[in-house]
Structure 1
Amino acid sequence: MNYATLQDLIGRFGERELIELTDPDLLAIQTERVQRALDDAQVFADGFLGRVYRLPLTGCAFPAPLPGDPGAVQWVVPPQLRRIVCDVARYYLYHDVAPEHEVYLRYKAAERELQAVAEGKMVLACPAGGLPGVPLTGLPSGEADVAWAFSPRQMTDDSLRGFA
């Protein structure tokens, strides 16, 4: 699941800005550069989200009734995660940004939000309720990966004989 797309960036920041950021000839958006920034931003987000959710995220279940299947759902990216990834990708497209620049401030705000999610101080909200993915904690028995394995204690009177 891609957290954000080129169309999301165009919708938020405008086609003109993306052309200026990606094409020295100012003719068209260079989609490869934009996709690389989006991919990097998603990996950045996953670095935080992976502390809370099993990756890849499944997304939020959004009701999408179909003829014959009124209970059908569509899996969508949590809206705040889409915004965060757009802000980070935009920052990655800029070369030099002053600390007081809006792009830098939005990037730092996105980083703080992701940190808050990773620390459990904030959650990714799903518009129709539910969770955007499988939490790493509180999994039903047998579904979690084994992180530690212990063997029975091997110290007995016989094994310790001769130690002072």
Structure 2
Amino acid sequence: MNYATVQDMIDRFGELELIQLTAGAGAVVVDATKLERMLADAQAHIDGYVGLVYALPLLGCVKPAPTPQQPTATELVPPPLLVRMACDVARYYLYDQVAPEHEVFVRFKTAQRDLEAIAAGKAVLACPWGGEPGPQITGAVSGECEVMHSFSPRYITDDSLAGYR
């Protein structure tokens, strides 16, 4: 499951900006290949944090998708928070340089803080339609796992050191 699509990026940031960032001056269409590569990089970045808490790949949220033929139909979609974060991270990756006060940088840092909170167990991925986006890894939240250790005592005596000089 991809967390975000080219169309998600266009809907959020506008086609003109994405044409400028992906295809350059004089282009009239978004370079979808470049944008998809940035989205894949953003997803890998997100998975590095989310994978500490949730089993990957995520199953997704079950969203109602009724049709006239199937009024109870559903579809699996990524949690909306991941869509936003993937778009913000991918957009940040498209820029060569961004000032710390620029909206792109601020949105990236917000996504980064959200990811750190998820990885630390201080936030969860929510499915607004109910359910969970996937199983959590046992012991993912601090204090949930048991630490086992064993060791044998070591005795150092003159006899055990005989022969070493």
Shorter chain as denominator, the TM-score bin is 0.7 to 0.9
- 2:13 aligns with 13
After the TM superposition, which residues 1-164 of structure 1 pair with which residues of structure 2 at under 5 Å, given as runs?
1-24=1-24, 25-64=26-65, 72-137=73-138
Q: Aligned partner of 1:9: which letter?
A: M
Residues 137 and 100 (structure 1 numbering): CA distance in 2 closer, same or farther, change over 3 Å? same
d(CA) in 2 for partners of 1:99 and 1:64?
A: 40
Secondary structure of the structure 2 residue equivalent to 1:100 = coil
What RMSD in Å do the two structures reach over aligned CA positions?
A: 2.9
For residue 62 of structure 1, give the secondary structure of its aligned residue in structure 2. Answer: strand
Name 2:143's counterpart in structure 1: none
SS in 2 for 1:74: strand
TM-score (norm 2): 0.79
Distance 1:69 1:31, change over 3 A: closer
Residue 120 of structure 1: SS of its match in structure 2? coil
Range that drifts further, 69-78 or 23-32: 69-78
Report how many residues are paired.
149
Q: CA deviation at 1:28?
A: 1.6
2:109 counterpart SS class: helix
Q: 1:32 to 1:70 in 2, by over 3 A?
A: closer
In structure 2, relative to structure 1, the CA distance for the partners of 1:23 and 1:69 (3 Å cut) is closer
SS of corresponding position for 2:29: coil
Distance 2:95 2:22 in 1: 9
- Shifted more, 80-89 versus 58-67: the winner is 58-67
When normalised by structure 1's length, the TM-score is: 0.80
How far did residue 63 of structure 1 move?
3.0
Residue 73 of structure 1 and its aligned partner are, at CA, apart by 2.9
